[in-house]
Amino acid sequence: MKFNKLSQLFLVSILGLLGSTLLTSCAIVTIDYVFVADSAGSGSGSAGQIQTYDADAATGALRSGQPTVSSGGINPVAMAVSADFSNLYVVNKDSNNVVHFALSGSGVLTQKDVVTTSATPVAVAVNIAQTYLYVVSGPDPAVITAYTLSSGTIGSVAGQVTLTLPGFSTDTIVPTGVNVLANNDAVYVSAYDQSAYNPGGSTTSSANPGWVFGFTVGSGGALNGSTNSPYKAGIKPSALVSDPTNRFVYVTDFASNQLIGYTIQNGSTLNFLINGPFRTGNEPDSIAIDPRGKYLYLSNGLDSTVSAYVIDLATGTPSAAVNVTGAQSNSTDTTPVAIVVDPAVGRFVYTANQLGDSVSGFILNPDTGALTASQSTPYPTGDQPSALAVAPHGNHSIQVTSP
């Protein structure tokens, strides 16, 4: 069969359009930026760095994104992103500082201001109103500090409290995490009493070892102890999180392999969930809740797994989410120490694996909470990644945070 020139031109146009359509349909679409804090080298004084990865909207798979930037110090251990996803705050433990980065809609990080802490900083949180940045430092002494924020810039100290136990004021308190309620009204700090719990060393105190310190946020950012605070929290609480409806707080107990749950009463007071605590894997040390408040995930450092739970929205009780394979846990690379759920659609979970020098990725089933490994996981990082943060791509709205 023969074609005239017009027919040939038409055929070429159709084939070109088809090819373009196929390429477009196969193109990778970025839905989130995943930020990983790690070290640029293996030495103890190696500079910290922040690596940026693009998350694929269809599979959650990660690929290298914007160029790596310095963390502004040594040994970054924690990060927090502002509610509008335009600011990132990084804690550098060995430099005693917190560094503020501006975050563009394309994932570019630009270092702005720095504050130096009086003690070793270990955790950071920013309230949803973006008016205060909470930094926990210690021990010697253990302190929570509230800094004012203005358009992301870290300002003056609005409130500061030293963490001490009633009746045991000279005990050494080691803070491990900080969390602020979604309504901005209360802040919680997880910590343990090293004078009462010190594996391999001596103890000098008969106090309960694990605690959560609760604070209400007063005028001008002042921090006031909540009723009956501090609250007992097992042996060695390692991380904590609150649900998006301000009704529940959950704490991982690294030493007893348990998840401890609390209800929030009168805006800030914590009471134990009556049917807890709940079993975890070995040495749980990070925790996250999906944006809808339906599912809870924690990483087990010794097991190199992620445990998944379904939250009963009426009682706050977490029940293990059963995967279709029948497995109760999900394997990561070696020693996961941080975990996040993506905020764009609430469908992907990531862990930073400290001894694996990698990030593991999972796809979250929105109907059951179960996880399956994402494509090509794990993804290589720099040396000993220790913290994660996620921001949605500028073209994607975040998941509505209501159960």
- Average pLDDT per consecutive 10 residues, the chain (403 residues; last block may be shorter): 43 40 53 95 84 96 96 97 97 97 96 95 98 96 97 97 97 98 97 97 96 97 97 98 97 98 97 94 97 96 96 95 67 98 94 98 95 96 97 64 48
Cβ(238)–Cβ(213) under 8 Å? no
CA distances in angstroms from 334 to 30, 181, 239, 353, 376, listed in the order given: 27, 31, 19, 6, 16
pLDDT score recorded for residue 195: 98
Cis peptide before 343 (omega within 30 of 0): no
* Strand partners of residue 211: 191, 232
Predicted local confidence at residue 328, as pLDDT = 60
pLDDT of residue 40: 87
Q: How many residues does the chain have?
A: 403
pLDDT computed for residue 24 by the predictor: 37
Beta strands in 30-131 (DSSP E): 30-39, 47-56, 62-64, 69-74, 76-81, 87-92, 97-103, 109-116, 121-126
Show me where the domains of the chain are located. 28-392
Q: What is the CATH number of domain 28-392?
A: 2.130.10.10
The pLDDT assigned to 218 comes to: 95
Burial, 120: exposed, middle or buried (Cβ in 10 Å; 0-12, 13-18, 19+)?
Answer: buried
Phi, then psi, of 21 in degrees rounded to 5: -65, -40
